[in-house]
Amino acid sequence: MKNDIRIDLSFLTHRKRKRLIGLLGPQGVVSLIDLWLSTAQNRSRGILTGMNEGDIALDAQWPGDPVEFCRTLCEIGFLDRDETGTYAIHDWKDNQPFMYYAEERSKRAREAAETRWKKKNSEGKRKLRKQNAHSMLPACDQHTKGNAPSPTPTPTPIPTPNPNNTPPTPQGESVDVWFEDKFWPMWPRKVAKAAALRAIKKLTPAPELRDDILEAVDNQSQWPQWTKDRGQFIPHAATWITGRRWEDKIPEPQKSAPEKKPIWGKCPKCKKETLLEDLKKFESCPACFKPLSPDRVRDLISNIGKELPKNTEGKEMKGKADNHRQSPEDLKKVQMACKNILDLDGKDDESSWRKRNPTGEDVKTMLAWLDKVKGLLSPENSEFSGSKKKGMIELLPIPFSEWLESEVWRDDPKQYLINLLPPPIPGGENLDYRGGENAANA
């Protein structure tokens, strides 16, 4: 049988514990637990009769002022004091029922053991008298015609004690009383009480089994299956008794699945190591990924399901703009317009141009975008301040191939330049990118 006390898991974050730490420090919590252990060991009823503040502080191993310690515990609600000045642990009977009834349980066990021992002795004497009566039957038949001689007196044998010296199983109190006083106060889920009483009556456990049942309830009430989700998975008492669940063993903790190691790859654009999951999702690293512009998305959606017109010979006709695809002259025009704006690389630029295969309308859009950027960054333009223009010019150059494939040239040039600059610092200059006095006063 285990000798321990119960401490609810909510005590870790309970407001009383926090208040005790605030008034007496962490040592106050340690001394409170020491007081509970000393009370369970020496005063199972939880009543500290004959103990003053100094005795209580001594049992709790409190190094400070004993009066302050007891006064603080009473104020918070860990100690009670009656009119006679006797201290008692608050709600000891409800929180520690197994320790509270320890003396009664031991007393009943001793009395029941003595009762059964006497019963065994009486049964042994009855058996011995019956054996002696049967042994006299032949002598009676032999002397039926005369007086039988006086038998040789033999001493009455004493029954041989149990060689294992184990006390018999005591009967103890009735099942109803034990259920009401011991089992039901300890059971954490107070539902279906009548069904539980019928199940325990049908079982009629012996006192030793009753102690095992109470100990099992005390232990299993701390299992994770019983404490999670506010006790939602605690079985009904009748089901637990019928299934002899006190024989269950402590569940082994589940082994956590091995942590998956990340798989890395290289971004095709910046050549940096990137998670393979991101490469599959973005076809690049998240930093290089640029979504399509709203205009491009609208064009793609509008062309879904459309078929190209056919000529009289049944062949598909190409649009006028398609006659300019992969034109070297268009590439030179765009490259000339990109000077001092983008990074140019002849071979990569040509391969990217052929891969992109832009139409004539695309070329016009590119040239217009580059012309608009040059105008915004020119000294004559006052939409941006000089410092902002300088920062944009430093951050603007990107590889021509990246600019071409990302279709930045379809976006608003002004908004693109604004997005190049970092966001404004909180509390610093509020950059609204309008330039002039408006930027300083925004």
Q: What is the dihedral of CA 113, 114, 118, 124, to 10 degrees?
A: 40
Q: What is the pLDDT of residue 70?
A: 93
| pLDDT tens-digit profile, the chain (442 residues) | 457 788 888 888 898 899 999 898 999 899 999 999 989 888 888 899 889 988 998 889 999 999 999 999 999 999 999 888 899 999 888 888 888 887 777 788 788 878 887 777 776 666 666 665 555 445 455 544 555 455 555 554 444 454 444 344 345 578 889 998 889 998 988 888 999 999 988 888 888 889 889 988 888 888 888 887 777 788 898 999 988 888 887 766 565 666 667 777 778 878 788 877 877 777 777 777 777 666 666 676 766 655 544 444 444 444 443 444 456 677 777 777 777 677 666 566 777 777 777 888 888 888 888 888 888 888 888 777 777 777 777 777 778 777 777 787 888 888 887 877 766 555 544 444 444 444 444 3
**CATH number listed for the domain at residues 9-92:** 1.10.10
What DSSP letter does each residue of 249-282 carry, written as one string? Answer: PPPPPPPPPPPPPP-EEE-TTT--EEEHHHHHHH
Please name the helix (run of DSSP H) or strand (run of DSSP E) that holds residue 441, with its range, or none: helix 436-441
CA–CA dist 102, 4 (Å, integer): 12
If DSSP codes are grouped into helix, strand and coil, which group holds residue 389? helix
Radius of gyration of the chain (CA): 47
Q: What is the pLDDT of residue 311?
A: 44
Residue 362's alpha-carbon distances to 160, 281, 331, 340, in angstroms, are: 114, 27, 11, 21
If DSSP codes are grouped into helix, strand and coil, which group holds residue 343? strand
If DSSP codes are grouped into helix, strand and coil, which group holds residue 324? helix
Dig out the tokens for 106 from the structure: 């031991």
Dig out the tokens for 91 from the structure: 């709600």
If DSSP codes are grouped into helix, strand and coil, which group holds residue 81? strand
User: How many distinct helices (H) and strands (E) make up the chain?
Assistant: 23, 5
Dig out the tokens for 397 from the structure: 């150059």
Dig out the tokens for 109 from the structure: 């066990």
**Domains in the chain: boundaries:** 9-92, 262-291, 324-441
CA–CA dist 276, 28 (Å, integer): 54
CA–CA dist 144, 43 (Å, integer): 71
CA–CA dist 322, 325 (Å, integer): 5
CA–CA dist 407, 292 (Å, integer): 7
Count Cβ neighbours within 10 Å for each residue of 383-402 and write b for 16 or more, e otherwise. bbbeebbebbeeebeebbbb
The amino acid sitting at 88 is A
CA–CA dist 369, 403 (Å, integer): 12
Residues listed for the chain: 442
Residue 402's alpha-carbon distances to 35, 282, 306, 343, 345, in angstroms, are: 74, 15, 30, 10, 11
Dig out the tokens for 24 from the structure: 């007496």
Q: What is the value of pTM for the model shown?
A: 0.30
